[in-house]
Amino acid sequence: MKFLELPASQFIIFQLQWWSSILFVRSGYPSVGASIAFSLCFIEYLLLKFSLNRIKILVACIILGIWMDSLLSYFGIFIYKYYVVGIDWFIPVWAIAIWFSFSTWISLSPYLRNYKGLVTLATIFFAPLSYFAGNNFSVVKLKYQTLSLFLIGLSWVLFMNIILRWPRVNEDTVLDSKKSY
């Protein structure tokens, strides 16, 4: 499954997951988009060999991402469409699916840490652009558009710097179902 490990393949898969989530939320079917995104992640997990380190990065990225978006939502930087019932500050399931998708892409892209400066510049531009697109598709509402986009960009730069500096040891150690860890 070397094809799935190619950076371009991972980027295309992530884009499919993001767009399916956003378009189905916009159409009023958030669980369909989330199901597609989660299913593609699950297929990737089954087909690719994940090192123990990749799994740690994946889990850290998911937890930090959900925490970051929940915090930004709690402080009113943006408002999601289709919150979890009764919890209007915790991100909805469809957004969690996007975090799983993004985290899978990042965990399979160790080459990014060689380009921290370029990744930071791209993050400053593309992270707010993603939320801006979500705002235009009416799946996220930016309360204070310029300030919200600035704070989202700043949060994402901090987030990416944490993830890119995550210690990577034994990158080639692949999980073996017959071995106990």
What percent of the chain clears pLDDT 90, i.e. is strictly above it? 41
Query: What does the pLDDT average to over 20-37?
Result: 91
Q: Specify if 26 maps to a domain.
A: yes
Q: Is 175 within the bounds of a domain?
A: no
State the average pLDDT for the chain.
84
Distance CA 101, CA 108 (A): 11
User: What digits encode the pLDDT tens for the residues 137-154?
Assistant: 999 999 899 999 999 999
Question: Does any domain span residue 173?
Answer: no
Torsion region of 91: left, alpha or beta (phi above 0 gives left; psi -120 to 50 gives alpha): beta
Q: Are 38 and 44 in contact (CB under 8 A)?
A: no
- Predicted pLDDT of residue 80: 85
Domain membership of residue 92 (yes or no) is yes
Asked if residue 15 has pLDDT above 50, the reply is yes
Q: Answer whether residue 174 is part of any domain.
A: no
- Residue 181: per-residue pLDDT: 42
Buried b (16+ CB within 10 A) or exposed e, 108-124: bbeebeeeeeebeeebb
Calculate the dihedral angle through the C-alpha atoms of 24, 30, 33, 35, rounding to the nearest 10 degrees: -160
Q: How far apart are CA 154 and CA 39, in angstroms?
A: 31
Residue 103 predicted with pLDDT over 70: yes
pLDDT for residue 89: 72
Q: How far apart are CA 104 and CA 87, in angstroms?
A: 26
- Position with higher pLDDT, 4 vs 153: 153
Q: Round to whole Å and give the CA distance between 181 and 123.
A: 35
Expressed as residue numbers, the domain containing 112 is 7-164
- 171 lies in some domain: no
Query: Does 169 fall in a domain?
Result: no
How far is it, in rounded angstroms, from Cα 32 to Cα 20? Answer: 8
- The number of distinct structural domains making up the chain is 1
pLDDT value for 22:
93
pTM of the model: 0.84
Residue 176 pLDDT: 43
Whether 86 has a pLDDT exceeding 80, the answer reads: no
**Does a structural domain hold residue 180?**
no
